Structure 1
Amino acid sequence: MRPLFAALVLSAGVTLWAGGAVARAPAEFDLADFGKIIIQPRQSAGSTGLVFEQAIGDYQNEPIITYGENSPIVRLGKPIGRLDMLFEGDKTGFCTAFIVDDQHIVTNHHCIPGMGGDPSGAVSGVLAAQFVAGFIKPGNSQGVDRFTVSPQIVETSRELDYTVLRVFGNPSTKYGKLELAAADPEDSEFLWIIGHPQGQSQHISREGCAAAIPAISAEGKLMHSCDTLGGNSGSPVIRLSDKRVIGLHHAGDSRTGFNMAIPMTRILAQSRVLRDASGEQPAARPVAQQQASRAVGQAPGPVAVAPATGDSCLALWTEAKIIGCAGYETYVAECGDHTFASMAQRVIQRECSVPSRAPVESDMRALTVKAGGGGDYSSVQAAIAAAQPGMRIEVYPGTYTEGLDVTKPVEIVGIGNRADIVIKAAEDNAVRWTAESGRVANMTLIQDGGTYFGFHIAAGSVIVEDNDITSKGLAVMAVRANEGATIRRNVIHDGAQGGIFLFEEGKALIEDNALFGHSLGAIEVKEGADPIVRGNTMRDGGGSGLFVNLGGKGRYEGNTIFNNALANIEVKAANDPLITGNIVRNSQQGGIMVSDGATARIENNTVYANTFSGLEITTGANPTVRNNEFRDGAQSAIYIHSGGKGVIENNDIHHNAFYGISVKGDSAPIVRANRIHGNSYEAIRVREGGGGTYEDNDLSANAAGAFRIEEGAGSVIRRGNKE
């Protein structure tokens, strides 16, 4: 029987009954839509098609480009983008989000944890997420940028229905940020809502868009008459008078005939991140006094971030060293004449760029390939042989049982649903690439047996994007002795061996891919290979998620790595890779393992809920481990043995089932300035010849005390610790 109370319809398609907290499953999109810019609207109810959250009179929510690319309205909307999410269980969702500072975006709580099934917000259920900026033209992806979003929640509130997420790449340098208002709107005040209804291009609700009377309901909601659709969840409600965000749109209420937002004053009162971003505290005066003060004439706040100068540049430099590439790029962009700018440029050149050339421009028409006839060719390889450099080859649905050998710069693009455009090769590589440049996109590539790769990049440079790739032979992809490659937004899965294998100094930018189901590692790097790997998901493999092997280098940033049979990340005899900002969780063995004399920089990662240690350092490995969180492990957080070394500093190590740090076997780390608390035994255990230096750590609040130094331990230096 239907409950006898009204429904609150959330913008992403979730329904919450006003008399309780029962949630209906969210509106979902096809898995294939994740990573695309242009999607087909599919959210519907019954036989009537699209359902408005609440349309007040005639529906008024129009494409923002209607006002012209250089209009003030379009400029105001630049910091607002679409949040694309790929959930566990192969479901895809779209909401709206907006930029508030150089690292953070804001959306609704029900877009992330609500869809992931975890009301606490600690785990989002999101495998991958991206912030899509600049999507203002319907059906046109030109000029659109994608930024990787960490699926780990920075800050959230179910009651206030807001979530703060970390975004990589600092989109604020190009798109600016929105200013947040620390005062509530007046009754009937004119408003705008800008967002991405149904995941489509940016729209604005402007006509008839105003606060209700009263603007703030007895329940503390901002009531408004602005028309919205599913996908508008997380849209900013913008006050017309000063262009500041006065609310976070989130629902419609059939009882009142109005849509609802959470007032920004309520969110600011709870959110440290947003208070820091706005630079002001929420007003404590009564609403009427706030309104009177504004009526006297407060100056409108700017939409874009002002360039940094002086002390701000020094602060940016400090932050850049923590954040990495995105931080250095921001610092150089805003502080090009500052003291450390030349140093930052060198870091960017060394660690943050991989050469990858786009196809040669050509005015020639495309060649078409149709398996059943009717195109220029029925064979893709025949089209490649006939193509001039720079040509585009359009491949239509069909199964093409041939391996492709590409030696000239061409663009090979599937036209239609990639699941229906299949390149399938046994006893051959599905694709072997040696051309100086080019692109392969929107196809299904299957290596069907034999000692070959699914996609073998053996020279040159290529962009590989939006494909589904698998292999029954060797690794799904191999990158070796090449000039550069970009591998992004692909589904790389079920390799009979590994996912992506980089060796012989292979180079690639690997971003926003889903890698899963491989017999060995999702990504293996060795022999001087030096990739940038960011924003990927590496899960459910028979080996490690990431394996940086003998002589491997690279930068590994913002990835989510979980549920692999071996350590989620293994670093063995590697050459100082940087592992930063990753989520490393739920391994069937350890979180991160560093061995065989490897050096590595392990910084700003969150490592939790692994079956063995969160971090194991062994056999002479000597990493630098800074600013990480190691928590909720089934054994000790950090286990150092068999001659392991390392500098362990400024980490938060808590609530592990054994010790915070366990050291034995002639190991001698330097452990300083860590906070080690809430662990089931002592904070630090040293035994069986283990030693080390332990200084300036906070070791209070562990169940069995600070230190356990056993008979037979080696030289242990302790100073300045809080015990």
Structure 2
Amino acid sequence: MSSRSPVATDPAQVFDDLAAVAARIRDRLNAEITESAEDLPDGADGAAAPAGEISRFAREERDRVLAAGARGLEKLAEGREDEIDEDEYFGVEAIVLLEGRPALLVQGQDFATPTDDWAVLDGHRAPIRESIARVGRVEVTGHPSLDWVGTAFLVGPEVVMTNRHVAAEFTRSDGNSGWVFRPGMTARVDTTEELPLAGTAPGDGSFEYEVTGVLGIHREADMALLRVAPTARGGGSLPTPLAVAAEAPADLPGRPVYVIGYPAWDGRRNEPESMRRIFMDIYNVKRLQPGTATELIADELTMKHDCSTLGGNSGSPVFDLNDHRVLGLHYGGRYRSGNFAVPLWAMVEDTLPGLSEVNWV
């Protein structure tokens, strides 16, 4: 099957039993209770209110796409790939993204119970929550067009790691091998920025770190290290840093991993309207994104993975699900190709200022 999805993953590599996944999708669709038009709130003229119509249409579109995907999976399971039409291809990709490579919302520094294929995450809930608490959104003031620019994570007692291209949005070279803030700009790392739980207020800033300086920005790897301190509202001390892998893991291809970050709407990926409806246009908030490591390209200092990331994930950590060490620094993806990260164990002996402060384990 030719993949068009952002993760570029063959369904047979994602799911152990394609027919079983198709049956599960069909059972779920059959179990849903579809609201009738009489159940929707009425407008002044007796017609269904626009909000109710939008909700109903979004649900119907989602169900239509998933039903087509179930048909496509059944044909794949029966060796009838040549019979799959465009709607079924798209539906299979949607199922891969929703079931096989989901982007789970983080709320209250926790995540919802995952689907059957990622039920293993429940057994790792405590360490994953520890990981979640040490990843934040890089927010800026004084930028001409952006409120936030990517993701960062705590790797040392007062050090966060992110991408060079993220840091470049609010810093510049001082001409003497150093980096300084751009005039009129400041930055902070907010470790919440979640979709609020029903009945709760947005974060109050108590989980923010102020970026106080630049330790180092790598010339080749897309990496930056920033000095941070608790904000006045946050107070107290920073949590213990994440453990960063000091050696290569065994058997990297196929190794289960997860990314934590802030996927943003990214028009470069040209997502179809129906895909936007599947994800309900919820972007810019914290998510847990499981997947697998797929390849190491040592001469390009790149580890590939297939987690479902978008633009705002720049600077996200890629965790080993087995021991929760940070294996990689996510720096980008290519539609229909996969996602890329700096393999951090390859940086242990690097001379970049600040790397000696990283919690190598």
TM-score, normalised on structure 2?
Answer: 0.54
Asked if structure 1 preserves the Cα contact closer than 8 Å seen for 2:140 and 2:187, the reply is: yes
Q: CA deviation at 1:103?
A: 1.4
Aligned counterpart in structure 1 of residue 258 of structure 2, from 181, 192, 210: 192
Q: Amino acid of the residue matched to residue 123 of structure 1?
A: V
1:549 paired residue number = none
SS state of the match for residue 355, structure 2? helix
1:138 aligns with 2:196: yes
1:96 to 1:88, Cα distance in 2 relative to 1, 3 A = closer
1:125 paired residue number = 182
CA deviations on 1:235-282 (whole Å, 9 max, x unpaired) are: 10001111000100011134x61100011023333235233332x5xx
SS state of the match for residue 354, structure 2? helix
Identity of aligned residues (%): 26
- Superposed, 1:139-288 pairs within 5 Å as 140-142=201-203, 144-150=206-212, 152-169=213-230, 173=237, 175-185=239-249, 186-198=252-264, 200-206=284-290, 209-212=291-294, 214-216=295-297, 218-254=299-335, 257-270=337-350, 271-278=352-359, 280=360
In 2, the alpha carbon distance for the partners of 1:153 and 1:180 equals 20
1:103 to 1:193, Cα distance in 2 relative to 1, 3 A = same
Aligned counterpart in structure 2 of residue 81 of structure 1, from 107, 124, 136: 136
2:152 paired residue number = 97
Q: CA deviation at 1:114?
A: 5.2
In 1, the alpha carbon distance for the partners of 2:179 and 2:171 equals 10
1:110 to 1:158, Cα distance in 2 relative to 1, 3 A = farther
Q: CA deviation at 1:102?
A: 2.4
Q: Amino acid of the residue matched to residue 195 of structure 1?
A: G
Asked if structure 2 preserves the Cα contact closer than 8 Å seen for 1:138 and 1:201, the reply is: no
Asked if structure 2 preserves the Cα contact closer than 8 Å seen for 1:102 and 1:173, the reply is: no
1:638 paired residue number = none
In 2, the alpha carbon distance for the partners of 1:275 and 1:98 equals 16
Q: Amino acid of the residue matched to residue 146 of structure 1?
A: E
In 1, the alpha carbon distance for the partners of 2:241 and 2:347 equals 17
1:174 to 1:163, Cα distance in 2 relative to 1, 3 A = closer
CA deviations on 1:183-242 (whole Å, 9 max, x unpaired) are: 234221110001122373321101xx1111x33354220000011122111110001111
Asked if structure 2 preserves the Cα contact closer than 8 Å seen for 1:179 and 1:244, the reply is: yes
In 2, the alpha carbon distance for the partners of 1:225 and 1:197 equals 14
Asked if structure 1 preserves the Cα contact closer than 8 Å seen for 2:246 and 2:348, the reply is: yes
Q: CA deviation at 1:166?
A: 1.1
Q: Amino acid of the residue matched to residue 354 of structure 2?
A: V
- Superposed, 1:466-505 pairs within 5 Å as none
Asked if structure 2 preserves the Cα contact closer than 8 Å seen for 1:63 and 1:138, the reply is: no
SS state of the match for residue 231, structure 1? helix
1:221 to 1:178, Cα distance in 2 relative to 1, 3 A = same
Q: Amino acid of the residue matched to residue 125 of structure 1?
A: R
TM-score, normalised on structure 1?
Answer: 0.28
| Structure 2 alignment gaps of length 5 or more | 1-5, 7-92, 114-121, 265-282
SS state of the match for residue 313, structure 2? coil
1:87 to 1:109, Cα distance in 2 relative to 1, 3 A = farther
CA deviations on 1:339-387 (whole Å, 9 max, x unpaired) are: xxxxxxxxxxxxxxxxxxxxxxxxxxxxxxxxxxxxxxxxxxxxxxxxx
CA deviations on 1:62-92 (whole Å, 9 max, x unpaired) are: 1133337994222321111111012454643
In 1, the alpha carbon distance for the partners of 2:229 and 2:95 equals 37
SS state of the match for residue 210, structure 1? strand
Asked if structure 1 preserves the Cα contact closer than 8 Å seen for 2:163 and 2:331, the reply is: yes
How many residue pairs were aligned? 223
In 1, the alpha carbon distance for the partners of 2:180 and 2:148 equals 16
- Superposed, 1:589-604 pairs within 5 Å as none
CA RMSD of aligned residues (A): 3.4
Q: Amino acid of the residue matched to residue 267 of structure 1?
A: M
Asked if structure 1 preserves the Cα contact closer than 8 Å seen for 2:261 and 2:287, the reply is: yes
In 1, the alpha carbon distance for the partners of 2:292 and 2:300 equals 19
Q: Amino acid of the residue matched to residue 161 of structure 1?
A: D
1:58 aligns with 2:59: no
1:67 aligns with 2:112: yes
Q: Amino acid of the residue matched to residue 292 of structure 2?
A: A
Q: CA deviation at 1:174?
A: 5.3
1:467 paired residue number = none
1:194 to 1:88, Cα distance in 2 relative to 1, 3 A = closer
Asked if structure 2 preserves the Cα contact closer than 8 Å seen for 1:215 and 1:224, the reply is: no
Asked if structure 2 preserves the Cα contact closer than 8 Å seen for 1:80 and 1:97, the reply is: yes
Q: Amino acid of the residue matched to residue 183 of structure 1?
A: E
2:167 paired residue number = 112
Q: Which has the higher contact order (CA 8 A, sep 6+)?
A: 2
In 2, the alpha carbon distance for the partners of 1:138 and 1:197 equals 16
1:86 to 1:166, Cα distance in 2 relative to 1, 3 A = same
CA deviations on 1:658-716 (whole Å, 9 max, x unpaired) are: xxxxxxxxxxxxxxxxxxxxxxxxxxxxxxxxxxxxxxxxxxxxxxxxxxxxxxxxxxx
**Which protein has the larger Cα radius of gyration, Structure 1 or Structure 2?**
1
- Superposed, 1:560-639 pairs within 5 Å as none
Structure with more of its chain in helix, by fraction: 2
SS state of the match for residue 180, structure 2? coil
In 2, the alpha carbon distance for the partners of 1:216 and 1:146 equals 35
Asked if structure 1 preserves the Cα contact closer than 8 Å seen for 2:179 and 2:216, the reply is: no
